[in-house]
Amino acid sequence: MTTYWIQGFWFDNYYDSSGNEQRVYLTVDGFGTRNVAISAQLNVLGPGAYIEESNGTITGDLGFAAVGIKWYEYTDDSGFHHVDNDYFVPFAIINNCVGFQIELAYERAWVGAAGTISYFND
């Protein structure tokens, strides 16, 4: 594998205190067909919490965050393929890729994420 271009990406710091899940997306496409290696990771996480006490019962929730590859598209001898991931995939190598989307999800947290896209020849 010969890497000929490395592209960094990041999700600037986001904050949620509402307790509603937030989602942010980065879509990369329009580059033709390329072999790519994608890596995504959280670079900052400050989880928050909501705690309530009522009649001797404690309830609430904790903050969370996750980042990963939401979907990707590629071509092969049998044609065009679109793959939806149902979990946060942190790393992938995709041959003949034509596009992909990275998702950052968070709730009750201060969070940031970063990663790299390496473009390579076989």
Q: Domain map of the chain by residue range?
A: 2-121
What integer is the mean pLDDT of 89-111? 97
The percentage of the chain sitting over the pLDDT mark of 90, rounded to a whole number, equals 96
Rg (the chain; Cα; Å): 18
> What band does 85 get if pLDDT is binned at 50, 70 and 90?
very high
Which residues have C-beta within 8 Å of that of residue 115, sequence separation ≥ 6? 8, 9, 10, 38, 39, 40, 41, 67, 102
CA-based nearest residue to 47, from 65, 32, 27: 65
Q: Name the DSSP class of 108.
A: S
C-alpha 35/C-alpha 3 separation (Å) is 9
8 Å CB contact between 23 and 113? no
The per-residue pLDDT for 122 is 83
1 has a pLDDT exceeding 90:
no
Options 2.60.120, 3.30.160, 1.20.120, 3.30.70; CATH of 2-121: 2.60.120
The per-residue pLDDT for 96 is 98
Give this prediction's pTM: 0.90
74 has a pLDDT exceeding 90:
yes
